Amino acid sequence: MLKTLFDIAMRHLLGRRRQTLTTIFGVAISTMVLITTNSLTRGLLDSFIETIVNVAPHITVKGEKMRPMPVNLLEGQSASDVAIIENNIQKQEKEEVQNYRQILSLFSLPQYEKQVLAASPYVESQVMAVKGSRNQPLLLKGVMIEKEDAISGIRKKLLSGDIDTFQKTHNALLVGRTVARDMNLKLNDEVIIIPASGQSRQCKVAGIFFSGVNAVDNSVFVSLKLGQIIEGLPANKVSGIALKVVDPLDNSQLARDLEKITGYRCLTWQEENASVLSLFARIGYIVFSLVAFVGIVSGFGVANILVTTVFEKSRDIAIMKSLGFSALQLVGMFVLEGFMVGLAGALTGGVLAIGSINLFASLPIESSQGPLTQKGFSMSYNPVYFLLIIGITVLISTVAAILPSARAAKLEPVSVLRDSSL
């Protein structure tokens, strides 16, 4: 019986070949667009996470103390307590990590040495860079270059110059590619760095790097000692400590433990990039909403062809019921037609999507996708999303066949045959 219903369903679809192909093509195009769009958004998210995990610190020990002076001195006290403060106007202190070498020694303890792969102290300063008539505000970061290389792999990201020259050259700079382009900097160029203190220093470009993270490529690196001098910090203080850990995707508990033992705020890369990750999440919701809406439009196309089939094949349906086909079998037959149209369109769309994804991924253009700069587009080839969108499309097409199939099941054979011309 199932084979008979299948043969009849195929005859119905092939009998209206042009309309069937048009519907399949519409389902295929919508499926291709949805898979390609989802691949682009997921690929951008995956690329962002991969780049951040490889370049940025997984946990950052900030100079913000976890036990600051309470704002409300009477909080938690009895109503009879009184606090009097006179002349408490003070200069706001810089956020800095004191005695950073002692904190670095903590990471060699047994409970942390297997979790923390590398630690790099750094000093950050907002400075003005001047070369000739060009000037630009930028972030200057003082680092121990070997330790920084263990965090970000800066050595492999150099476009010109080398680390050895940087270490040997007095007042040397490693310049991000964005800064180099904006200021037309080349290797061995002289640059004047003007910090907030106003005491300028002449520095020399010892290397130009490109990490792919726009924020990093819009900064410059100097030695930690020079960074401390520019920021006005003593030798035992830094702005923070960057950490690379074994499991960057599950690092929240380690960050909380380090906060307790160091007394400083420890932020994970997820917390520092929360706004970007939230944006990706919202884009993901929008894409899946498009899956639903465009799928419904495709479903209307499937329903349209089946409604037309029911209208034109009313006499055949009446004869089938007269021969003993039940209403449930007729419903199953039309649902099978909707399933076949949806499946054919979705699979065709999946094949077209593979071609469109490969096309976007191979485009020889440099694109600045949000916080990243990359060549071509970052596309995801995760088969889960292919199967999910194809499955949703087929499901909507199958559900769309229920209404016309229910109409066919309600036809009365006697009325149809009496009103039709034999």
Point out the domain boundary residue: 209, 227, 247.
247
- pLDDT band of residue 411 (cuts 50, 70, 90) is low
Q: Are residues 285 and 407 in the same domain?
A: yes
Q: Are residues 135 and 177 in the same domain?
A: yes
265 in any annotated domain:
no
Q: Are residues 102 and 234 in the same domain?
A: yes
- Arithmetic mean of pLDDT, 313-334: 68
- Arithmetic mean of pLDDT, 21-43: 84
The answer to whether the beta carbons of residues 339 and 401 sit under 8 Å apart is: yes
Q: Are residues 282 and 392 in the same domain?
A: yes
pLDDT tens digits, one per residue of 295-319: 677 667 677 766 666 666 566 666 6
Most confident region among 16-20, 190-194, 212-216, 295-299 by mean pLDDT: 190-194
Residue 302 and residue 305: Cα distance in Å, rounded? 5
Least trusted range by pLDDT, from 176-180, 264-268, 337-341, 403-407: 403-407
283 in any annotated domain:
yes
Q: Are residues 198 and 101 in the same domain?
A: yes
Which pLDDT value is given to residue 261? Answer: 87
359 in any annotated domain:
yes
pTM comes to: 0.70
Point out the domain boundary residue: 201, 230, 247.
247
Q: Are residues 150 and 285 in the same domain?
A: no
Which pLDDT value is given to residue 321? Answer: 66
Amino acid sitting at position 283? I
Strand 201-209 relative to strand 172-176, pairing: parallel
- Arithmetic mean of pLDDT, 189-193: 91
Domain range for 315: 2-53+276-419
Strand partners of residue 119: 243
Average pLDDT, the chain: 80
Q: Are residues 282 and 241 in the same domain?
A: no
Q: Which residues contact 282 (CB under 8 A, 6 or more apart)?
A: none
Q: Are residues 377 and 316 in the same domain?
A: yes
More confident residue, 65 or 116: 116
Point out the domain boundary residue: 203, 228, 247.
247
Instruction: Using the CB atoms, write b or e for 375-412: b if 16+ within 10 Å.
Output: eebbbbeeeebbebbbebbbebbbbbbeebbebbbebe
| Collapsed DSSP state (helix, strand, coil) of residue 99 | coil
The answer on pLDDT for 113 being more than 50 is: yes
Which pLDDT value is given to residue 409? Answer: 63
Q: Are residues 24 and 145 in the same domain?
A: no
Least trusted range by pLDDT, from 13-17, 89-93, 272-276, 279-283: 89-93
Residue 399 and residue 303: Cα distance in Å, rounded? 9
The answer on pLDDT for 166 being more than 60 is: yes
Which pLDDT value is given to residue 422? Answer: 43
Q: Which residues contact 323 (CB under 8 A, 6 or more apart)?
A: none
Which pLDDT value is given to residue 223? Answer: 93
- pLDDT band of residue 417 (cuts 50, 70, 90) is low
Least trusted range by pLDDT, from 97-106, 294-303, 330-339: 294-303
| Domain count within the chain | 2
Instruction: Using the CB atoms, write b or e for 89-116: b if 16+ within 10 Å.
Output: eeeeeeebbeebeebbeebeeeebeebb
Q: Are residues 138 and 219 in the same domain?
A: yes
Which pLDDT value is given to residue 121? Answer: 93
pLDDT tens digits, one per residue of 63-98: 888 765 455 545 555 555 555 555 555 555 567 888
pLDDT tens digits, one per residue of 204-260: 999 999 988 888 888 999 999 999 998 888 989 999 999 999 988 888 899 998 988
pLDDT tens digits, one per residue of 343-393: 888 899 899 999 999 888 887 776 665 666 666 677 888 888 888 888 888
Q: Is the dihedral of CA 44, 46, 47, 48 positive or negative?
A: positive
